[in-house]
Structure 1
Amino acid sequence: MNQPRYYSPTGGLPPQTDLTTDRAVFTEAYAVLPRGTMRDIVTSALPHWDQTRTWIIARPLSGFAETFSQYIVEVSPGGGSSRPELDPGAEGVLFVVRGALTLDVDDQSFDLTEGGYAFLPPGAAWTLRNEADAPATFHWVRKAYEPVEGIEVPEAFVTNEADVAGEPMPGTDGVWSTKRFVDPMDVRHDMHVTIVSFEPGGAIPFPETHVMEHGLYVLEGKAVYLLNNDWVEVQAGDFMWLRAFCPQACYAGGPGRFRYLLYKDVNRHAKLSRQFL
């Protein structure tokens, strides 16, 4: 079995001799942020975070992501936060792509190494520190949790993708699989953050067109992705946003696996009445 490999940005700036032309695309239906766009000059500092810099790659915005935000957070040794989430209604998923972090949540302590995954429900009391001697990088996906009367809020949990089996998609002989960290039928959860994998030559053989909004961060490999009417080359470190109902498919070109971290909103009614907007 191949060991997990995850791309993470390192910042810096390209030399003045480089061409400006790149693969960055922003349309009404989708956006592509190539890894080369994640430079020092587009990082942000977050309140109550020490020795940390953040690439904000998705945020609620008219004509862009509507249901979620996604950050790539780099924490230097000794850095972190004792007040990481300031929105009591926000749920979150952390996924570590480099280094090691110590997560304290609900009076329990966890060591998150590469591949570490944590779900944090709204209102959870948690802190995060880098107690190692090297920088650590993680993805932080945040969503405003949509409570439903009579349904409990899900509890926090921590795991590692190495301990989660990939589920082959039907009829694919395992060339297309998904690692699901929560039961898809558990309606307590209103978002899924999964890892989708394709072996070389694997494909999504039809244009998916559905209500779920997507954020896709390529962890490993390369592919050609159908985004609306366009076939776009993507590689490790690229981020894609797909609005609801944007047609999508892909071919994994090899020579290695193609894998991405996928966000989607699920398990809730479409909002109609003003009181639910």
Structure 2
Amino acid sequence: MTTPRYYAPAGGLPPQTQLTTDRAVFTEAYAVLPRGTMTDIVTSLLPFWDKTRLWVIARPLSGFAETFSQYIVEVSPGGGSDQPELDPGAEGVLFVVAGGLTLTLGEATHELAEGGYAFIPPGQEWTLHNRGDALATFHWIRKAYQVVDGIDVPEAFVTNESDVVGGEMPGTEGVWTTQRFADPTDVRHDMHVNIVNFEPGGAIPFPETHVMEHGLYVLEGKAVYLLNNDWVEVQEGDFMWLRAFCPQACYAGGPGRFRYLLYKDVNRHAVLSRQFA
């Protein structure tokens, strides 16, 4: 198996001589945040996090993400939090793209290396710290969990993408695979955060149009992606948001693999009245 690569932003600022023209796009159907937009001046801080900064790349907002938020979090050595999540109704996924982190879930301790993945259900007690001597960077995807009477809340779990075999998409002879971290038939989960992989020449050969909202962060490689009516070039470090029903397809031209971390909301009725909101 080819060793995975993970792009992590480095911050900084471009020189004054750089042209301002770039690939950043914000529309009512989709948005593209190129990796060059993730500079020092757009970082944020969070309460009860030490030696930590983050890039907020998605948040619930009129005309933007509706179901989730996504951060790229950079934790300096000695940094972290004993109170990371302040919303008791929020579930989360952590995915490490640089360095290492120590995660506690209740009484259990886990060491997360690059490719480390953790699902954290709502109400879970947890802490996260960088005990190493290098920067650690991870994605933190958060969603308000939709409780359903008679359906249990899924339990926390920790794994690494190296331990998750990619499932081949039908008829693709392995050029398009998806690493699914949660069982797609387990309706306890109301969001999936997976890794989608394309070998050079792999493609989504039709415009997908469906109810799931998407967040896509490119971990590795480059491709041409169809977003609504537009073909857009994307590369590792770019983030794409797709509104529900936004047509999407892609073509991975190479020379290497094209891989992205994918969020989508799943397994719940459409909200029709306030009592179920």
**Coarse TM-score class (shorter-chain normalised):** over 0.9
Deviations 1:173-215 (A, max 9, x none): 0100000001101000000000000000000000000000000
Structure 1: stretches of 5+ with no match in the other structure: none
* Aligned positions, number: 277
The 3-state SS of whatever aligns with 2:95 is strand
Which residue of the partner structure matches residue 186 of structure 2?
186
Matched, 1:107 2:137: no
Which residue of the partner structure matches residue 196 of structure 1?
196
Letter in 2 for 1:175: V
Which residue of the partner structure matches residue 141 of structure 1?
141
Which residue of the partner structure matches residue 60 of structure 1?
60
Q: Give, in whole Å, the separation in 1 of the partners of 2:155 and 2:2.
A: 31
Q: Give, in whole Å, the separation in 1 of the partners of 2:34 and 2:131.
A: 31
Letter in 2 for 1:86: L
User: 1:2, CA displacement in angstroms?
Assistant: 1.1
Deviations 1:63-88 (A, max 9, x none): 00000000000000000000000000
Which residue of the partner structure matches residue 156 of structure 1?
156
TM-score, normalisation: structure 1: 1.00
Letter in 1 for 2:160: N
Q: Give, in whole Å, the separation in 1 of the partners of 2:106 and 2:120.
A: 10
User: 1:251, CA displacement in angstroms?
Assistant: 0.1
Q: Give, in whole Å, the separation in 1 of the partners of 2:274 and 2:35.
A: 39
Q: Give, in whole Å, the separation in 2 of the partners of 1:52 and 1:192.
A: 26
User: 1:274, CA displacement in angstroms?
Assistant: 2.7
Identity %: 82
The 3-state SS of whatever aligns with 1:133 is coil
User: 1:275, CA displacement in angstroms?
Assistant: 1.3
Q: Give, in whole Å, the separation in 2 of the partners of 1:160 and 1:63.
A: 34
User: 1:54, CA displacement in angstroms?
Assistant: 0.5
Which residue of the partner structure matches residue 268 of structure 1?
268
Matched, 1:247 2:218: no
Matched, 1:69 2:75: no
User: 1:253, CA displacement in angstroms?
Assistant: 1.0
Q: Give, in whole Å, the separation in 1 of the partners of 2:269 and 2:72.
A: 30
Which residue of the partner structure matches residue 84 of structure 1?
84
Which residue of the partner structure matches residue 30 of structure 2?
30
Q: Give, in whole Å, the separation in 2 of the partners of 1:241 and 1:141.
A: 13
The 3-state SS of whatever aligns with 1:36 is helix
RMSD of equivalent CA atoms: 0.4
Structure 2: stretches of 5+ with no match in the other structure: none
Q: Give, in whole Å, the separation in 2 of the partners of 1:153 and 1:28.
A: 33
- After TM superposition, the runs of 4+ consecutive aligned structure 1 residues lying more than 6 A away are none
Letter in 1 for 2:243: R
